Amino acid sequence: MQTGHLAALEAKHALLDSQILAESRRPSPDQEALATLKKRKLQIKQEMTAQ
């Protein structure tokens, strides 16, 4: 069961990573959106390491 949960977290982490990259490459990146995405990515990373 944990393996499926970890895989889901890894998928969310990768999705957030691509969203952060896309936002940061825009001509005028939304700093607030970037901060929110990075915070969510960090929370997921912490949950993954707690597994």
pTM of structure: 0.86
Cα distance from N-terminal residue to C-terminal residue, the chain: 11
* pLDDT tens figures, 22-49: 999 999 999 999 999 999 999 999 999 9
d(CA 39, CA 33): 10
The domain spans of the chain are: 2-50
d(CA 37, CA 5): 20
Q: Residue 20: is its pLDDT beyond 50? A: yes
Please identify which residue in the block is written with the tokens 């970890």: 6
Confidence grade of residue 1 (pLDDT, cut at 50, 70, 90): very low
Q: Residue 2: is its pLDDT beyond 90? A: no
